[in-house]
Amino acid sequence: MRKAATQVPVCETAEHLNILHLGFDNTDSIQGKCTTHLAFKITNYLLKKNEIKFVDYPLLIRLNPNIPWKTRGNGAVCLRIATKRSEHLIEYIQNLISENSDISNGANPGFVAYEGTVIPTNLRQFSRTALYDVLSLSDAEKIIENESIHCYRWGNGHGVIGALAAIGCLLEGDHTFEAISYRTEENVGTPRSLNEQLVLEMSTVTFPLTFNNIDAEHKRILISPHGPDPVFCGIRGEDPITVLKSLLSLQTSEVLEGCMVFRTNQGTNMHLQNQLVLSQVKPFMAGYVRGTVIKIPSILQGGHVLFEISDIVGDTFPVAVYEPTDLGRIAKQLVIGDVVDIGFGVRGEQRGHSGILNLEYLAILKLNSIVHTQNPYCKMCKKHMKSEGKGKGYQCKECKIRTREKYNVTVKRDIVAGFYLPSSRSHRHLTKPIHRFGRENTYPYVPGIYPFPDPNSFHREGHSNNRIECLLL
């Protein structure tokens, strides 16, 4: 039987303690490992220390998804704690990251630690830029030096960029939560087994407080990955209690190692907040732009659609709509003169071709009228008149009535102005589901007063039902 959950306390303000911000990234490779799983291990260790208090949830920050050298989900982690023993703690975590990263298979971990109640402005700006643009290691090194940040790196050190961006992101605006469960070491690499009916029931009951659990149209579960990493599944939603209870409701047959709730920018479109003009667009950027369609869409092999837009200053760019998004059926009906906003990620130059805007959402602001000119009708017999030759006008062959005037017919469009998102199967981690518009979360970051479920407070019931149980302290 599950133990009763007690009231979640407000974490005490961290008087006489140092606020320590721990960021790490790029610990995994395509062969395995997982940065959030490493966060789970580190958090377990920290929660056993009486002199340590968490001042926020563990943060999972998804960065610019267009970076070609990113890790699988381009997610970095930040842990914010209050402690008196920062030096010993930093050294221990450094060793833990080194031991639990897949460096031999190409992981390039970075770990940074910053002490201070206030995050510097330049670090916060660095974090904002990391969501939509490309940053270099030298950009990170300047801030590390200027702000006296502890920094450790392995491999080529690219993980330092994400680690630094994670501690600079306070998630002061919109945010969501994800409860992630993890597999035991002996099960990693074996097929995951989820009860599809339970996932469907959970998704139906908890909507709109959870999202992107299942793609009903294509009958595909979306909460579980398919690779050799230790994540079993993850439930995304609006509050920590709902995602945790939803995770527990799945009654998995596999014995799991544990679970943890993250506060995150997933489902917020945070990478698409910057309005750009096309002259600013560079490879691998993300953002949105307003433009006018200047070329009739063409349908490419595989069902992809390509059209072209021009912005307010006359710059032009091709836009690609890929078949799995299910937006091709809308995009192919655009005509010259339609006014649109598009959210996009920029594909880099390939094989001599310039960059392309890969469409992430389509907002049709104004539909241009399609007007066809037709021969006039005869008012007497209601039949089309015939042309008598160039410049000679028209005559009804039955009634012999003549006129020089044509008339215009406006063609009814099969699409309407509005906001269009890809199919849920094509959502990126950061894609905001349509139902979240107008339902954004806001919670100011105040060190020391954010209550959270204790990620270490889980236990496993008897092996008869093999269920993970999580308690809220």
Q: Could you tell me which CATH number the domain at 271-367+420-426 has?
A: 2.40.50.1010
Amino acid occupying residue 145: E
* pLDDT over 80 (residue 456): no
Least confident of 94-108, 137-151, 347-361: 347-361
pTM (predicted TM-score) = 0.85
Least confident of 67-71, 187-191, 271-275, 399-403: 399-403
Segment 77-82 shows an average pLDDT of 94
Higher per-residue confidence, 231 vs 28: 231
Domain ranges of the chain: 1-267+433-473, 271-367+420-426, 372-411
Confidence of residue 49 (pLDDT cuts 50, 70, 90): confident
* pLDDT over 60 (residue 446): no
Alpha-carbon distance of 387 to 375, in angstroms, equals: 8
Alpha-carbon distance of 373 to 410, in angstroms, equals: 9
Confidence of residue 85 (pLDDT cuts 50, 70, 90): confident
Segment 365-372 shows an average pLDDT of 88
Question: What is the predicted pLDDT for the residue at 15?
Answer: 54
Alpha-carbon distance of 380 to 394, in angstroms, equals: 14
Give the pair of three-digit tokens for residue 69: 């050298």
Alpha-carbon distance of 273 to 86, in angstroms, equals: 35
Provide the mean pLDDT of the chain: 84
| pLDDT tens per residue, range 169-208 | 999 889 999 999 999 999 998 999 998 899 999 999 999 9
**Domains 1-267+433-473 and 271-367+420-426 in one fold:** no
Residue 338's nearest CA partner among 378, 282, 293, 297 is 293
Question: What is the predicted pLDDT for the residue at 354?
Answer: 58
Segment 461-471 shows an average pLDDT of 31
Residue 153's nearest CA partner among 113, 110, 114, 105 is 110
Higher per-residue confidence, 55 vs 266: 266
* pLDDT over 90 (residue 38): yes
Segment 405-426 shows an average pLDDT of 86
* pLDDT over 90 (residue 11): no
Of 111-125, 215-229, 444-458, highest mean pLDDT? 111-125
- The domain made up of 1-267+433-473 has a fold known as Alpha-Beta Plaits (3.30.70)
Alpha-carbon distance of 270 to 363, in angstroms, equals: 17
Least confident of 9-18, 295-304, 447-456: 447-456
Question: What is the crossing angle of helices 137-146 and 121-130, to 10°?
Answer: 160
Question: What is the predicted pLDDT for the residue at 366?
Answer: 95
* pLDDT over 90 (residue 213): yes
* pLDDT over 70 (residue 164): yes
Outline where 259-416 has alpha helix (H).
328-331
In the chain, % of residues over pLDDT 90: 55
Question: What is the predicted pLDDT for the residue at 471?
Answer: 30
* pLDDT over 50 (residue 417): yes
DSSP SS3 for 158: coil
How many CA within 13 A on the CB side of residue 274? Answer: 17
Confidence of residue 84 (pLDDT cuts 50, 70, 90): confident
Question: What is the predicted pLDDT for the residue at 73?
Answer: 74
Distance of CA 225 to the CA centre of its chain: 15
